[in-house]
Every structure is written in structure tokens, then in C-alpha cells.
């Protein structure tokens, strides 16, 4: 059964909802990734980033979140990964995460890192192996892919941290 023609506002109200975010991979000179620990949850580590404000682009959100969370004026570079995470049974809608290359921070930038967001407890540079143990599994997979593609000219699409084209069970 078709809904028939609806005025734009009514039609848009029928479309699925999802949350979008902009995040960034910031590294030090030896290739460790910057993680931040949130005050909510139990030892919730993440990359700098967050949800889009109304009308904001993913790149603009990443730029804003770098400044808000760790106090840096760093322009996000190219898009590394788009990761779609399915809706959850608790009612959370699907997430579409955009992760940009934040580059390699120099010693002065690292020395100026400060938690500018009261939602955060601390920050830490971590190896790939350390980050795998600290992050939620889907985010650990996303970060690992980002660390791989940052050395290439590719952008990768993921679903819940997995490349759907590389999965054997898809």
C-alpha cells in the first residue's frame, strides 16, 4: 500500500531516523592514537568526536569536537571511514559515524592538550593493541581500520566496524 503524495514536511516525518557523528583520529609521532575517557559509563574510552548539532556537517562536528574535547585548533583532514551501526533494542536509532584524519600532533600540540569538556576524565595515546582492549568492540574495529587506511588514499565504508565487502558471512 502506498502512502500517496504527502507534503514535504509530512513525508520527511515518515522517514527513518538515525544519529550522525563526526570524529577524528589524532596520532603522535610513533603512530599511537589519542583516546579520551568519558565520565559516563564504566571506563568508556572513545576517539574525540560526537554527535552533529542541528544542521551541522560531520566535518564541522569533528572540527568543533576537537576544540571542545581536547582544546586543539586542528583542521580535520580527509574522511577515513564511514561506519553505520544498527539500531539497538534499547530504542537507540542507527548511527552513522564519520571519522576524519586529524594528522600527527607535534610535541607542542601534545603539551597543550587539555580536557575542555566536563564529560571527559582523561586522555591517553594508545597503541593499536592497547586501543583494542580499551574500546567497545565495534569502535576498536573502526579505529583499527582507520589506522590502516590513514596510510593510503582510500576511504572505507563499514557496518558495525566490519567491511561488508570483506565479510565471508554476508
Task: Give the global pTM.
Answer: 0.90
Please check whether residue 25 is in contact with residue 100, taking contact to mean a CB–CB distance below 8 angstroms: yes
Buried b (16+ CB within 10 A) or exposed e, 85-100: beeeeeeeeebebbbb
Region 1-26 average pLDDT? 84
Percentage of the chain beyond pLDDT 90 is: 76
The listed CATH number (3.40.50.300, 3.90.79.10, 3.60.15.10, 1.10.3720.10) that belongs to domain 19-159 = 3.90.79.10
Q: Measured on CA atoms in the order 61, 62, 68, 72, is the torsion positive or negative? A: negative
Please check whether residue 20 is in contact with residue 52, taking contact to mean a CB–CB distance below 8 angstroms: yes
Q: How far apart are CA 104 and CA 123, in angstroms?
A: 16
Per-residue model confidence (pLDDT) at position 2: 52
Helix/strand/coil percent split, the chain, to 5? 25, 30, 45
Q: How far apart are CA 131 and CA 168, in angstroms?
A: 25
Region 140-165 average pLDDT? 95
Band of the pLDDT at 97, cuts 50, 70, 90? very high
Q: How far apart are CA 50 and CA 58, in angstroms?
A: 9
Q: How far apart are CA 120 and CA 154, in angstroms?
A: 31
Q: Is residue 118 pLDDT above 70, yes or no?
A: yes
Q: Is residue 168 pLDDT above 60, yes or no?
A: no
Amino acid at each position: 500500500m502506498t502512502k500517496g503524495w504527502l507534503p514535504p514536511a509530512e513525508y520527511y516525518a515518515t522517514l527513518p531516523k538515525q544519529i550522525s557523528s563526526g570524529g577524528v583520529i589524532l596520532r603522535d609521532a610513533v603512530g599511537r592514537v589519542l583516546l579520551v575517557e568519558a565520565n559516563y559509563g564504566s571506563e568508556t574510552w572513545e576517539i574525540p568526536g560526537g554527535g552533529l548539532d542541528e544542521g551541522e556537517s560531520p566535518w564541522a562536528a569533528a572540527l568543533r569536537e576537537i576544540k571542545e574535547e581536547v582544546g586543539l585548533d586542528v583542521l580535520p583532514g580527509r574522511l577515513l571511514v564511514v561506519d553505520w551501526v544498527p539500531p539497538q533494542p534499547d530504542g537507540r536509532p542507527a548511527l552513522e559515524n564519520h571519522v576524519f584524519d586529524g594528522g600527527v600532533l607535534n610535541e607542542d600540540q601534545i603539551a597543550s592538550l587539555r580536557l575542555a569538556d566536563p564529560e571527559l576524565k582523561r586522555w591517553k595515546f594508545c597503541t593499536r593493541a592497547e586501543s583494542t582492549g580499551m574500546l567497545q568492540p565495534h569502535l576498536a574495529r573502526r579505529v583499527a581500520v582507520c589506522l590502516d587506511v590513514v596510510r593510503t588514499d582510500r576511504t572505507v565504508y563499514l557496518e558495525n566496524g566490519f567491511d561488508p565487502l570483506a565479510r565471508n558471512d554476508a
